[in-house]
Amino acid sequence: MTIDYSAARRATQEVPGIPHDADGPVFAAPWEAQAFAMTLALYDRGLFTWPEWAATLAAAIKRAQGAGDPDTGDTYYSHWLAALETIVAAKGVATHDTLHRYRDAWDHACDRTPHGKPIELRPDDFRAL
């Protein structure tokens, strides 16, 4: 796949609040870029439109603010991630339960991986749950 920079640029135009500079989006950590990349890939695949995504993200932000999020801007991608989990569930791709099971499996993989070794997910990480 070649990278569609114009898609990314369009995303920054259509989705409010994406931290960016003159060239496009900027990220405070690798996981933020990973969350952005997954969203871009799912959009590309036609899973949702940008207005749909913007609405899901706005709802996630509103929920977080209701729960006391300081709204300083540095939690933007936390909301993004929550919105991604929500839209993936809403579109019937994966339920929250499934995501949680995978999260726990990764946590298990983490626990059994000695420091200094790469963390890889194995089938028995699920069996151990």
By CB under 8 A, name the binding residues for other proteins.
Answer: 1, 3, 5, 8, 21, 23-38, 40-42, 45, 47, 60, 63-64, 67, 75, 78, 81-82, 84-85, 88, 93-94, 96, 98-100, 102-103, 105-107, 110-119, 121
- Report d(CA 87, CA 52) in Å as an integer: 9
Distance in Å, CB of 3 to other proteins, minimum: 5
> How near is the Cβ of 112 to other proteins at its closest, in Å?
7
**Could you tell me the smallest distance in angstroms from the CB atom of residue 122 to other proteins?**
12
How crowded is residue 114: how many other Cβ atoms within 10 Å of its Cβ? 5
The dihedral over CA atoms of 34, 48, 55, 18, expressed in degrees to the nearest 10, equals 30
Using CA of residue 81, residue 85, residue 91, residue 93, what is the dihedral sign? positive
Phi/psi-derived region of residue 71, left when phi > 0, alpha when psi is between -120 and 50, beta in every other case:
left
Of 25 and 54, nearer to other proteins (C-beta) is 25
**5 or 51, CB closer to other proteins?**
5
